[in-house]
Chains A and B, each alone.
Chain A
Amino acid sequence: MTTAMVGEVPLESDEDLRALGRRSRRAERRRGEGLWGWLFLSPSLILLITFVIVPIALALYVSFTKWNGQGGPFSKSASWVGLENYQRLLTRSGLTRKNFSTSLRNNLYFVLLVVPLQTIIALFLAIILHQRKLKGKSFFRTAFYMPSISSAVAVGMIFVFLFASGGVVNTVLGWFGAKDISWFNNGTGIFHSFFKVLGVDKPPSWLASHDFLGLSWWNWISGPSWSMTVIIILAVWTTSGTFMLMLLAGLQNVPEEVHEAAAMDGAGRWQTTRLVTLPLLKKQIILVVTLGLIGTWQMFDQIYVMSDGAGETMTPAYLAYVSGMKDNRLGSASALAFILFGIILVFTAVQRFVTRDKEGGR
């Protein structure tokens, strides 16, 4: 959303131009506007300051302290430790860093798989559903959107039930000769499982001996764990519908005539999609990818409900929550949350850069 926005402020420049011509009358009116502006803004502003902005500032301060949550953040129980929390997470070898880098790895695979999958599926469904003559359109739209409205708790419970040992999924896979897969508490990476099938059981020494953030290269290339795979399927299943609806909304702005004109010119279906529909949908696609990136890096509820971080499903957001709420290490938790915030900023910035306006769109 931000990406679609910050770059250009629609109408504003237009409005400013017109304002030039009417400056005198405006100036007269504007005198009261400042007051009204602040008045209208104040409810949102006060709430956001109290419950978002001040907490962020406090969390930033806390991230430079060692604090167990007793008393206030400025009381004696919170001692200033400078960058220590960040160093423990990023540079100093130890359990804290290992836990963090593992959670980072887990979430990275989640992001890299979920965002493209849900975007492509949503796009695909939206394009198919956007046919004027299609019958039962609203049935399909509702059906595809249905998973999005269920709560994380409900969806989590459903998937635990479906993927349980001897559950529906394993039964169906059994028909195709697969043996009972244990999906939960299974921290083995699927790439590792695949390597094993290929006969690579132990890591080659050059992969085991190098490390990044305290995690060996071999562990970085593990792929998502089997447990995480369930959550990936769950996330794609839940969110694709929402994004389909957003893309569909964007498609409504593409006049049918554009497609007809393309067809008249002899453009094939794929050509029409690639050269006409996708460029016109560019803003919505960027929006969907941005929201997808933010959402997948903040993924939390599903893990809270389903796995509690077991089976290599720990993510930075969940780790921050656990160390803050359960272990009462608020300094470390806050530092972690800020690193996560930084990661989200970097990812959205890179994505903005890649999709910045250039010839011909995507």
Chain B
Amino acid sequence: MPSDRPDDRPALDRSSPARTVGRYVLLVVVALIVLAPVWAILMQSLKSGPDSVRHPRSLLPVDLTWDTLRHAWRAGDLGRLSWNSLVMSVLVTAGVLVTSLTAAYAFAFLHFPLRRGLFAVFLATMLVPAEVTILINKRTIESLGWKNSMVGLVVPLLATGMGTFLLRQVFLQLPQELREAASLDGLGHAKFLWEVAAPLSRPTLAALGLLTFLTTWNQYLWPQSVVDDTAHRTLQIGIAHLDNGRVDNINLVTAGTVIAALPIAVMLIAFQRHLVRGLTAGAVKG
């Protein structure tokens, strides 16, 4: 960590040109390392044949073609798979926002028996490895007759301890007087949550929504466990099947990977400011 060198000079000259250049060089080097794999996969998906894999030329932006992307899209039926993933992610995100909002409100503003104990239980659910519950949940879904259905995919993911925790943190920072005043104005709990508390926690809601969407979009194990027909497959399962077990289909897989990551990358670039702000709001004096 170069910036951690012991340094006795007064920090006022911290903006010395050498320092600044050094800092940028460092950032660029790290960015290159971080982005290199992304570049490799992008290039691979834009090349025509698998024979280019071993060739250093495969990393250069030459001989580009859309054919591989187009082929992967058709061969893997990625249009439908994307739609499945999209529906699943939107439903889960909406559900998590609603259940987290109401639960966080109850924990932050309302007094009821067992409140502290229940909150500890909510937190503890975050520690449980999914492998403990997934075998049983798979059976639950099957016995409910929800195998190979959107309901089965979505319902078990609708509540998280994490979402409740994050929003409760934000709610606790709202001035208590706000609630007092609202109740004097005759504003009920549902109205107060919807009209005052929720809008005030918009940055955290945005961050939570974004993170939930990302996680759900990237889910692999759960969809794999409850879906075995092609009609309800999600994108992540689809791209893992693109190679059909043949190594020389690596181009198709990379193309599928690019297609699956594209919407997420766009979302990230568009909303990353909200992400930092939302995390900040939730993190104050955690």
Contacts and interface: CB of A to CB of B under 8 A. Distances in A.
Interface of A: 1-2, 4-6, 10-12, 15, 18, 29-30, 33-34, 36-38, 40-41, 43-45, 47-48, 50-56, 58-59, 120, 124-125, 127-129, 131, 133-134, 138, 140-147, 149-154, 157-159, 161-162, 164, 166-168, 171, 237, 241, 245-246, 248-250, 252-253, 262-264, 266-273, 283-284, 287, 294, 297-298, 300-301, 304-305, 317, 320-321, 324-325, 330, 333-334, 337-338, 340-341, 344-345, 348
Contact of B220 (A128, A151, A325, A345): A151
Given A253-B283, A269-B7, A43 B218 contact: no
B4 to A, nearest CB: 5
B21 interface: no
A283 B277 CA distance: 17
B102 A34 contact: no
B263 to A, nearest CB: 10
B196 interface: no
Contacts of A273: 3-4
Contact of B102 (A41, A157, A249): A41
Contacts of A252: 276, 280
Contact of A43 (B99, B107, B264): B99
Contacts of A150: 218, 257, 261, 264
Given A33-B112, A45-B118, A124-B3, 10 more contacts: A1-B123, A51-B140, A158-B254, A161-B41, A249-B282, A273-B4, A283-B283, A300-B130, A320-B129, A340-B131
Interface stretch (B29-37, B67-75, B76-84): B29-37
Contacts of B134: 321
Nearest to A154: B257
A244 B263 CA distance: 22
Nearest to A344: B127
B167 to A, nearest CB: 11
Contacts of B111: 30, 33-34, 37
A51 B133 contact: yes
B133 A52 contact: yes
A51 B130 contact: no
B240 A305 contact: yes
Contact of B7 (A6, A153, A270, A348): A270
A45 B103 contact: yes
B191 to A, nearest CB: 12
A37 B112 contact: yes
B128 interface: yes
A140 B31 CA distance: 7
B121 interface: yes
Contacts of B38: 146-147, 158
Contact of B269 (A142, A294, A333): A142
A154 B217 CA distance: 12
Interface in B160-208: 161-162, 164-165, 172-173, 176, 183, 189, 193
15 contacts: A36-B110, A38-B112, A51-B155, A124-B1, A128-B27, A149-B218, A149-B264, A153-B218, A153-B220, A246-B283, A253-B285, A270-B4, A300-B129, A317-B129, A330-B135
Nearest to A38: B112
A95 to B, nearest CB: 20
A145 B133 contact: no
A298 B127 CA distance: 9
Given A40-B189, A249-B279, A153 B126 contact: no
Given A47-B158, A149-B264, A150-B261, A2 B123 contact: yes
Nearest to A34: B112
B145 to A, nearest CB: 15
A152 B236 CA distance: 9
Contacts of B113: 34
Contacts of B18: none
B214 A149 contact: yes
Q: Is the interface of B mostly helix, strand, loop or mixed?
A: helix
A266 B173 CA distance: 35
Contacts of B162: 1
Contact of A154 (B11, B176, B250, B261): B261
B135 A53 contact: no
Given A6-B123, A36-B106, A142 B3 contact: no
B8 interface: yes
B132 A263 contact: no
Contacts of A268: 6-11
B143 to A, nearest CB: 9
A59 B136 contact: yes
Given A43-B99, A44-B122, A283-B286, A337 B131 contact: yes
Interface in B16-56: 23, 26-27, 30-31, 34-35, 37-38, 40-41, 44, 53-54, 56
A272 B133 contact: no
A53 B161 CA distance: 12
Contacts of A241: 34
B6 A270 contact: yes
B133 A161 contact: no
A90 to B, nearest CB: 18
Contact of A127 (B3, B6, B140, B218): B3
